[in-house]
Structure 1
């Protein structure tokens, strides 16, 4: 024990207090202070970083069609494909009066109109090719919870109904118009013209849905499209020497049947050997880096194995402030891969099961917020989070059962944002913990 205290105190700064004391950047309140009290600044405590691949994420009911692919030097080949149903609430063709004149309607064309929702990731200057396919099996959700996941997929026709190559312009009101197979369109048209389909169930049993994917072989981008996207059927009716054009829209009305299958091939990266389970994988085996990525279920875990030793500093003491500074690895972010504005922080058990979201004594949710102030060497760029309450509870525990913290992206099921973080052993951009401990 004496040896431990000597080693620990060799990295501590002690300050005697009889009023409010500024110990570095932290001000200790007068309620804690007496003449014999001391504030100890500690910045040498061990912080363990590890990586965890969570179970599948729910991606249904997220109101975003997420499609595309890109190559990431840290996360590998990332790809997202989307499944969705289109239907209508009106099961006849347009007529000013009734469908008694339906024999005069003529099929023209059919198209899938994808409307941008302003989300994009990676390089939108590269040409992207999309292909849309017919789903062959009914979209049935997980029987336990009624959801679809980032790992969910269904059999679809390998023959494309339509393809388009384009340069994405995801910001604004532009849209992508994919002209679909005329035989497919005429088939739907005739079903309605002949009143063969008259209900939602009849239509979805006949046409089970779409699968939209990128066929690009080169790295480009992943783009978000809104659920205001429509399948549009164009047809016309002749009246004497004139012709009147019409269209009928099939909308994505059931958002619970729209989901994204988000894939990641980590071959050749630090994450290649990451276990496909909830087991923690130490940053020692991932280049001294922690990884967080939305969409794929990749999160970073942080542990404080020696926090209980602080209570041996003195008979009575408390952690009155503790700041964790988490820094992104240099050259891991850029305009193509921007840093997220904040990270969510969760308290988890040894099996990485979430116990709660990190909060302060008043119950306010705490997040790790990005400090993006510019400096010559990017030394100030990073995330800061107050974990004093969490560490105080861990220090005071009587059992050996320890909780850790997990970092995630705030919106983890409808995008592919990511960040690479340094641990305590990385050469630059190390994670830092600064604790203020008061003895009384």
Structure 2
């Protein structure tokens, strides 16, 4: 279903689009139409080795209850100096190198905990629906109040029982002779945050996240340090989602487009995306002859109110899709197909000189914090479809920014929701004589 409005416009600034002064005249037309949308749960959402542990516990009236647990192996330097048998343990902490925080009531304490895995991470791919078993009682835990701090290091005291156990192994045991022996003893850790916390933290995997052991000898005035960290370690993020009683409760299977009432939404790490039905472009373009597109915007929003302390996804890519509800790829090289940036070539050529869709400059649907909208110009793309250079496809909106490093859609639980009536294409075009 779409709504199309047409008008001759002598002052296009009234509709929120910009035109060059020479085009600001009678014969310039404005048209707006809505695009329908559904939600899709992506299939095989791989969260292995994203470089960030997503540790969250959130509830939402649209998405329900979402829990994300970060799983990681641990790393030791094989030839690092170990404490001798006469060393005394001074203290032991598990540090979490937090680089992002998204949540509510950040002036209230949030309980983070680290648990010992009871099964190892294998050398395989892990997806967001995967999980590993771990001990119920934490090795380390602490309540943390973030306030306005979003980039910090959390220090969680290790329980006295485990601290003494691992310190004894460190001093005398074969468990620390090499990395394989160590991982047989301690397969890894699971990091989570307590139920009701309404917060998600992004924790760096690396030298800043792991155990820090402080020990000394008789007559020492300064402690010596020994590190057990997550550098060079396999990791993944597992997500549990309970959507019972919410509009997204109908979303049961991956790769199926679901109606969720008057609203649609997207949530990172859960792998829930928005599918855009672009068929209204056909009805619009079929009515045009002898025209020049001046500017075309694709807009979402404004989005529903976001609670204080939370941030929506910063940007999205518009991937091509069809009835499979998966990201389509280019035949020549398997690269994902997406709408390309305005002013960039929409068509490329393969080694044999045949035309094919360009893939090197994906358009970015960016969030405008003032207007609370996602907006992108798609003039070049629409022109390529109009001239039959590209075949129109539906879009899967995916919450990432190309070239930013890592996949942002796998590195948080950020989300947004909006009314379907606020998904629009706004066009200004000129009629040629």
Report the TM-score when normalising by structure 1. 0.77
2-structure distance, mates of 1:170, 1:83:
27
Number of paired residues? 394
**Cα RMSD between the aligned structures?**
3.4
Say if 2:57 and 2:67, in contact at 8 Å, map to a contact too.
yes
Map Cα deviations across residues 370-412 of structure 1 (whole Å, 9 max, x no partner). 3333xxxxxx44222222333344455599x751122232211
Number of the residue aligned with 2:403: none
2:34 maps to 1:55:
no
2:250 maps to 1:273:
yes
2-structure distance, mates of 1:132, 1:53:
29
Number of the residue aligned with 2:142: 164
Say if 1:42 and 1:435, in contact at 8 Å, map to a contact too.
yes
2:393 maps to 1:403:
yes
Number of the residue aligned with 2:339: 358
Change in Cα spacing, 1:177 to 1:168, as seen in structure 2 (3 Å) is same
Change in Cα spacing, 1:110 to 1:27, as seen in structure 2 (3 Å) is closer
2-structure distance, mates of 1:12, 1:169:
49
Question: What is the CA-CA distance between 1:209 and the residue it aligns to?
Answer: 0.3
Map Cα deviations across residues 166-206 of structure 1 (whole Å, 9 max, x no partner). 32357277533222233433333233322513211221122
Question: What is the CA-CA distance between 1:55 and the residue it aligns to?
Answer: 1.9
Matches within 5 A, 1:32-431: 39-43=28-32, 45-91=33-79, 93-94=81-82, 102-142=84-124, 147-168=125-146, 171=149, 174-194=152-172, 196=174, 197-216=176-195, 218-227=196-205, 228-239=208-219, 245-255=223-233, 257-282=234-259, 285-286=260-261, 288-313=262-287, 316-317=290-291, 319=293, 321-330=295-304, 332-355=305-328, 356-359=337-340, 360-363=342-345, 364-373=361-370, 380-395=371-386, 397=388, 402-410=392-400, 411-424=408-421, 430-431=422-423
Say if 1:290 and 1:420, in contact at 8 Å, map to a contact too.
yes
Of residues 68-77 and 242-251 in structure 1, the stretch that sits farther from structure 2 once superposed is 242-251
Number of the residue aligned with 2:331: none
Say if 2:66 and 2:241, in contact at 8 Å, map to a contact too.
yes
Change in Cα spacing, 1:174 to 1:189, as seen in structure 2 (3 Å) is same
Question: What is the CA-CA distance between 1:238 and the residue it aligns to?
Answer: 1.9
Say if 1:116 and 1:174, in contact at 8 Å, map to a contact too.
yes
Q: Which runs of 5+ in 1 are unaligned?
A: 1-7, 16-20, 96-101, 374-379, 425-429
Map Cα deviations across residues 246-270 of structure 1 (whole Å, 9 max, x no partner). 3311121224x12222333222221
SS in structure 2 of the partner of residue 176 of structure 1: strand
SS in structure 2 of the partner of residue 412 of structure 1: helix
1-structure distance, mates of 2:98, 2:363:
32
Q: Which runs of 5+ in 2 are unaligned?
A: 329-336, 346-360, 401-407
Change in Cα spacing, 1:307 to 1:135, as seen in structure 2 (3 Å) is same
